[in-house]
């Protein structure tokens, strides 16, 4: 599988009052991503916890690496949509951002250079 894309799945912090709900889900989400990796639906993933730097900064994220088509396919599944609902409801600043990685970086840079 070519690693040309990624998903940054980030948050600021759990909503106040939902901390006890969010904490165990972190490990459960790692299990979900490990299952996707074992099934070869993603290449890899990395959980990241950020140092606190202010009120609305990124508190943490998962970087999920994989092929763009397979990442799009995963995002259409019911299981993904359940996780999306969990993040939206329980995590302040929840976001999913597509990322260019690896061999797709030169193409992205060429597109940006056309703008100058």
Break the chain into its structural domains and give their ranges.
Answer: 5-113
User: Per the structure block, which two tokens stand in for 33?
Assistant: 């991503």
pTM score, two decimals? Answer: 0.89
- Return the sign of the alpha-carbon dihedral for residues 97, 103, 104, 109: positive
Task: Pick out the chain residues at pLDDT < 70.
Answer: 1-2
Tally of residues, the chain: 116
The pLDDT, as a whole number, for residue 4 is: 87
Per-residue pLDDT at 53: 82
Predicted pLDDT at 2: 61
- From the list 29, 30, 26, the residue with the least C-alpha distance to 18 is 26
CATH of 5-113, one of 3.30.70.100, 3.30.460.90, 3.40.50.460, 3.40.980.10: 3.30.70.100
d(CA 15, CA 46): 23
């Amino acid at each position: 599988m070519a690693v040309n894309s990624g998903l940054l799945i980030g948050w600021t912090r759990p909503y106040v009052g939902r901390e006890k709900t969010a904490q165990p889900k972190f490990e459960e989400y790692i299990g979900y991503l490990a299952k996707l990796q074992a099934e070869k639906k993603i290449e890899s993933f990395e959980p990241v916890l950020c140092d606190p730097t202010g009120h609305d900064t990124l508190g943490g994220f998962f970087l999920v690496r994989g092929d763009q088509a397979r990442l799009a396919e995963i995002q259409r599944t019911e299981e993904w949509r359940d996780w999306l609902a969990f993040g939206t409801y329980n995590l302040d600043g929840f976001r999913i951002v597509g990322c260019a990685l690896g061999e797709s970086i030169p193409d992205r840079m060429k597109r940006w250079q056309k703008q100058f």
